[in-house]
Structure 1
Amino acid sequence: MRVLMDYRAALRERSGVGEYTHQLARALIAACPRNGSDRPLDLTVFSSSWKDRFVPSAELAGATAIDRRVPVSLLNFAWHRLNWPPAEALTGRRFDVTHSLHPLLLPSKTAARVVTIHDLNFLAHPERTRAEVRRDYPSLARDHARRADAIVTVSEFTAREIVEKLGVPRSRISVCLPGAPDWAPRSKAPSTGYVLFLGTLEPRKN
């Protein structure tokens, strides 16, 4: 199966969606190893930015990386508003599935289109989101969700919200709970005590 994944969220500092994107690509490669000439998964990770470049890593060695020097904001406007250019034109490849790691579709001529919707915070609190998200997501998310061939989300709560607020049948939504990262826990807590904060410093997280 030939799959194109939008890897742009993982290019810079890996916040939640960026880390999710990277770990998903890594897990897909590990789950579908090449067996001689047999390649059950042909994964392409796509990135574009004017200044941030994709950095090859051993973890993603099993994928084909395509990096284009196109500003993210320009490509997003063309994709979200014009449904152009198709992924095939940007990559020079054909795909069976394209996977967008945010609520809006990745345009394709022939591939099935999958979107991952982490939450609908952009509908409840648009003032807490970036200008581009405020411009595109509230007005386009319903149409894109209905046109998607499949929707992935990370919780039953968000699945219910997608049904209620975007009008998508529950049968087209798959709930895939995020996994825990690989890390080595400490054997015991510090004796002096500590203060722990885990999250992003932004209004919608605090």
Structure 2
Amino acid sequence: MKAESIDHTDKVESTELEKSSSMLSAFSFKIGFDGKRAANNLTGLGNYSRFLIGQVATRFPENEYFIYTPKVKSARQIDSFLENDQLKLKLPITGGFLWRSFGILKDMAMDGIQLYHGLSHEIPFAIQHTTIKSVVTIHDLIFLRFPRYYKLIDRKFYHIKSKAACKNADKIIAISEKTKQDIISYFGTDPDKIEVIYQSCDDSFKTAFEAERLSKIRHRYKLPEQYILNVGTIEERKNLKLLVTALKNVPTDYKLVVIGKPTPYYKTVEKEIEQLNLKDRIIFLKNIPFADLPGIYQMAKLFVYPSFYEGFGIPVIEALYSQVPVIAATGSCLEEAGGPNSLYVHPEDAEELSIAINDVLSSPAKQKEMKAKGLEFVQKFNSPLVTDQLMNCYLQLLKPIA
């Protein structure tokens, strides 16, 4: 299923990263990760953490990798992740409450950690006063840009931790150019301190399922022959109501399949469904095993993601790798994730969205073009490339130690 990018710049960048990566084998480092979400979260940030750690450990096995987490959740995804022999699970030795913010530093010192990567907006307070180099990933600053989506206490807490992390980390990884600009705008951070390293998605989305396996998945979830797919938490920011409104003007032989955890916003969506008499055309699925998710993507006719704001938009990447045409919203970073051949609409214009949906669904030629060019574009987020970029980011900080 994979397609080579014909962009010369991407090829040159990939070649240079491969050369740099080959030189890394001469070094061996002890690298620690904030593993709270990798060991406890089964969606979004948990998937990001497990993917990043797993890829870097597999691609650069000469290093030692330590996963610091206050607890571990029992789940198939997490159990499989922690079975990797390259990873060392580290539970608290010194202290319990606020261990990830303070006590963890003593544990890392005992383990001889040389670099610590906070995978979600925070690093231990006072790490800048140790010999441990630090990197922090900032996914988004939505809590500042759209404060109405968050409780006051949560906004304050996120603000304190993110601002401190950006100030004290030796390097900041932003997952999109849009997030980088937000960090500069809200925190006044030096742009040279921020490196944009895009995310990839799980490799399971990059391989086509066999017809028999797809048939079993379709039967298991009672999926219709033709459906539009939406994946993500059912919350106000994700803007599912717009898609429901647009569906009214889409041919009735297409249904909408929604995969995501409901929040109180679901009632708003449900009310819209009832008013438009669309109950028979929308299927809600939740708690879908991760192993089945790529198959559900691959059988979709179209993926629609009308979110008001995202730090990046992994579901868009998953759809492109699954060779499904994508329609997303303007206003954040989704154009970065979807590329020039996906379609984008204003997140408050249901009519524009329905027109775009019908334009794609009515044209097999357009679908074919969007699939092919989307798959070509998404190679810039391929796992080896982004993993090499990450390790080179680490190496910039670890060179003085070596």
TM-score w.r.t. length of structure 2: 0.43
1:30-49 matched pairs, under 5 angstroms: 30-33=58-61, 39=62, 41-49=63-71
The question of 1:64 aligning with 2:88 is answered yes
Give the AA of the match of 2:188. G
Paired residue secondary structure (2:53): helix
Paired residue secondary structure (1:174): strand
1:1-206 matched pairs, under 5 angstroms: 1-33=29-61, 39=62, 41-49=63-71, 52=73, 55=79, 57=81, 60-68=84-92, 74-75=97-98, 79=101, 84-89=102-107, 92-107=110-125, 108=127, 109-129=130-150, 133-183=154-204, 184-186=207-209, 192-206=225-239
Between the aligned partners of 1:32 and 1:14, the Cα distance in structure 2 is: 25
CA contact (8 A) 2:92 2:107 kept: no
Which of these two proteins has the greater Rg computed from alpha carbons? Answer: 2
TM-score w.r.t. length of structure 1: 0.78
CA contact (8 A) 2:31 2:114 kept: yes
Between the aligned partners of 1:130 and 1:90, the Cα distance in structure 2 is: 33
1:48 CA displacement: 0.9
CA contact (8 A) 1:142 1:167 kept: no
The equivalent residue for 2:355 is: none
Structure with the largest fraction of helix: 2
1:12 CA displacement: 2.9
Paired residue secondary structure (2:106): helix
1:69 CA displacement: 9.0
Between the aligned partners of 2:235 and 2:33, the Cα distance in structure 1 is: 27
Paired residue secondary structure (1:151): strand
Paired residue secondary structure (2:165): helix
1:102 CA displacement: 1.6
- Structure 2: runs of 5 or more not aligned: 1-28, 215-222, 240-402
1:131 CA displacement: 6.9
Between the aligned partners of 1:187 and 1:55, the Cα distance in structure 2 is: 26
Aligned residues: 193
Give the AA of the match of 2:57. I
- Structure 1: runs of 5 or more not aligned: 34-38
Give the AA of the match of 1:103. H
Between the aligned partners of 1:70 and 1:15, the Cα distance in structure 2 is: 29
CA contact (8 A) 2:93 2:107 kept: no
CA contact (8 A) 2:54 2:81 kept: no
The equivalent residue for 1:36 is: none
